[in-house]
Chain A
Amino acid sequence: MEIFALFDCIITPACLISQTAGGLKIGMLLFLVASGLTLVFGVLGVINFAHGALYMLGAYFSWQVMSITSHFGLAVISGAIGVGIFGLLFERLLINKVYNADLLVQILLCYSVILILDDLVMIIWGDEFLSGIGVPEIFQVPPIFIFDAIIPPFHIAIILISMIVAFLLWIIMTKTKFGKLVRATAINPKMLEALGVNTNVIKAGVFMLGSFLAGLGGALAASLGSVVSGMGNSIIIESFIVTVIGGMGSISGAFLASIIIGMARSFGAVAMPLFTDGIMFLIMVLVLVIKPEGLMGKKK
């Protein structure tokens, strides 16, 4: 453990800014995926293991639109919307059949969907990994230097986009009628049905929104690297860690936990480069021991 390296980094502006910006970018990309996961769990009570596969679909959809239109913005939005629509179908045709089923049945269903989607994308787009959609031309410029810290402008854009999404999500969940209905569905769906609200529509809407967020995360990830079948498997583990740390079902908890994980990865690489994954799990264990309901979760 290089604790002195970490100390040196914290007192050096270049290192501090560089690692903080890096941590924010990691955390914000993670938030996009994890917020959808926690939203679905909080309202529907379903642990959607197939959420990573939806993230992968977002990357493939955006790649497809990019290869046809060469328009970055359209590719990212289409990727997110495409996965949102896919999520709606997924919920209507499959997930809603297992809302009250045993956890094992839910997991088996999701696992089946992961395997099917992983193979399906290989049949449609081929077995080999695809080159990503790349960075839009406007961001293909030299990085910005702040106190000698290097920050790519595209990373700033990703952080801003994710923060705007987080803000909009907060507005939707707290200030709109839909948000109130979603929260009410999570607490007492039967009462809502007695009041004449069609909770199936709310549930489908929530799953669609969660899928949209996973698709958006995948589409943005496609701009930073290759696109490949099974790429959702690694992000799903980190998303679950975020969900547990932040509190199952808490969007603000997911936001906080994503930043914590991002910073842990970024500064962990300075102090303990061989243990960055371990740090994430360690934080999760600590939270589970000290505050089992998560940092922003509610006690049941």
Chain B
Amino acid sequence: MKRIGKYSRRKILKTTSAAAAALTLNSSFPAILRADNNIKIGVPTILSGRVAQLGISVSNALKMAVNNFNDEGGLDGRNIELIVRDSRAKPDEAARVCRNFINSDNVDAIINAEASGASFAVQEVVRESGTLCLHTVSETSRLTADPSIRTWNAFRFSRQGIHDAVGSARYAASVIKEKGLKKWMSVNPDYAYGRDSDDTFFWALERFAPGFEILGKGWPKIFQPDYTEVITQIAREKPDAIYTSLWGGDLVSFIDQASLYGIFKNTQLFAINLADYTTMSAVKNLPKGLHSATRYVAAWPNTESNRNYDQSYTNLYGDHPTNWSWEASVGIDYLISAIKEIGNTDNNKIAEYIKGKQKESFMGVGEGNTVTIRENDQTIVDYSIGWGTTLPKEPYMDNIQAADWNTIAELEKEWLADKGWL
């Protein structure tokens, strides 16, 4: 055999062919012909209708992370390919889209950016298929709190209703102490999320500030254009405070219409979903001093990494991130870390990696600015929950107070025991 130095001709040919093939596949070859080599992630979300902008903000956040990963060379040259499809917020459509991802597109993982109803449908699809699934939007506690719904391959990276409820009630209790708010009313959308939110908020408030009185509850339909009947009820009862989980355009309409009655002059509004940029900027004359949880604002958590995240997103898309954006960003960040660490997309290994994993994050308030995916219920904890008061213009929020995660964990246990889910 002819030798060149210490290498045989066969060895040289083998090595150079392999290198040429690798280079061809990873760079000069048309992307479409390399597509099967990509790591595919299916994303069912809402891209049409009244909350389309939120679905788009998820897609934007995911693209931002994926582009960085791909630009850095991917996983040994394998890029991540996002396949984002519209479910139109319908559970059956979300399940169909998800099945197609698994059966036709052969995705390696699902990032489920669906609202609660559709998330339960997606959960059942991935339970059957065993595909790794990261829920990044649904806030209904039951999705991960109820052991009968949980599955080994699905994780929650979104806020959870009970966490927000405890944080909200704790904050409300501090305002009650300061201002003596005794008489309460609530206005919540008339569907599962609104009822859950109402139940958990007053359940938690009872623990922090017992002795309040509920004068009445308004249940407007989702997307209701006219809130007059609810507002006249508030004007008649004259409560000291109102709790609402209305969101998006519905919350904007409610605040605009209630302002005409001068409701917020003497009544404190606690709106859990107000402090998202899209909502606050749409209120015609945002009153000063309304209380809201910080869904997503650059001002909270007040850290450089959060401000950098806001800046990077804003530079790319010309708009601020939303609550759905940060949840998707944290989810994809975990997934990319897992893929890099494990070196492949083995769903079992990724699930094991994620379970119990503590990770630094711009939304983290755990030790060293971390969030954690709790091992027992596969759900995110130690993410930033803050409450504060509104300002009419940017930065929109003031006097923000952080929720205490020890208190949240304590009351969450009590709530789980009440539900029989502990």
Contacts and interface: CB of A to CB of B under 8 A. Distances in A.
Interface of A: 9, 14-15, 18-19, 21-22, 25-26, 29, 118-119, 122, 126-132, 134-135, 142-143, 149-150, 152, 154-155, 221, 224-226, 228-231, 233-235, 265-266, 268-270, 273-274, 276-277
B49 interface: yes
The 3 nearest A-B residue pairs measured at CB = A225-B253, A129-B249, A127-B52
Contact of B281 (A131, A228, A231, A274): A131
B124 interface: no
B248 to A, nearest CB: 6
Interface in B38-64: 47-50, 52-53, 56
B262 interface: yes
A15 B236 contact: yes
B256 interface: yes
Given A128-B53, A131-B281, A225-B249, A270 B233 contact: yes
A262 to B, nearest CB: 9
Interface residues of B, number: 43
A142 B232 contact: no
A143 B262 contact: yes
Contacts of B282: 128-131, 226
A225 B232 contact: no
Nearest to A24: B228
Interface in B292-309: none
B214 to A, nearest CB: 12
Contact of A229 (B49, B256, B257, B262): B49
A231 B225 contact: yes
A178 B250 CA distance: 41
A131 B252 CA distance: 8
Nearest to A268: B229
B284 A132 contact: yes
A19 B260 CA distance: 15
Contacts of B248: 129
A14 B236 contact: yes
Contact of A265 (B50, B216, B229, B254): B229
A269 B262 CA distance: 20
B226 interface: yes
B58 to A, nearest CB: 13
Contacts of A276: 229
B203 interface: no
B217 interface: yes
A266 B228 contact: yes
13 contacts: A119-B48, A127-B56, A129-B249, A134-B284, A135-B284, A152-B261, A224-B256, A224-B260, A225-B254, A226-B282, A229-B49, A230-B50, A273-B233
Contacts of A118: 49
A289 B260 CA distance: 40
Contact of A150 (B49, B190, B217, B261): B261
Contacts of A129: 50, 53, 248-249, 252, 278, 282
A142 B223 contact: no
A232 to B, nearest CB: 9
Contacts of B261: 143, 150, 152
Interface in B219-257: 219, 221, 223-233, 235-236, 248-250, 252-254, 256-257
B249 A228 contact: yes
B411 interface: no
B301 to A, nearest CB: 25
B249 A234 contact: no
A29 B226 contact: yes
Nearest to B284: A134
A21 B260 CA distance: 14
B218 interface: yes
Given A127-B52, A129-B249, A224-B256, 7 more contacts: A130-B282, A155-B260, A224-B260, A225-B226, A226-B253, A230-B223, A234-B225
B233 A230 contact: no
Given A131-B281, A132-B284, A225 B225 contact: yes
A19 B223 CA distance: 22
A38 to B, nearest CB: 20
A214 to B, nearest CB: 13
A135 B260 contact: yes
A119 B88 CA distance: 12
B236 A9 contact: yes
A208 to B, nearest CB: 24
Given A130-B282, A155-B260, A266-B228, A234 B223 contact: yes
B283 interface: yes
Contacts of A270: 233, 236
B253 A266 contact: no
A269 B218 contact: yes
B135 to A, nearest CB: 22
B228 A25 contact: yes
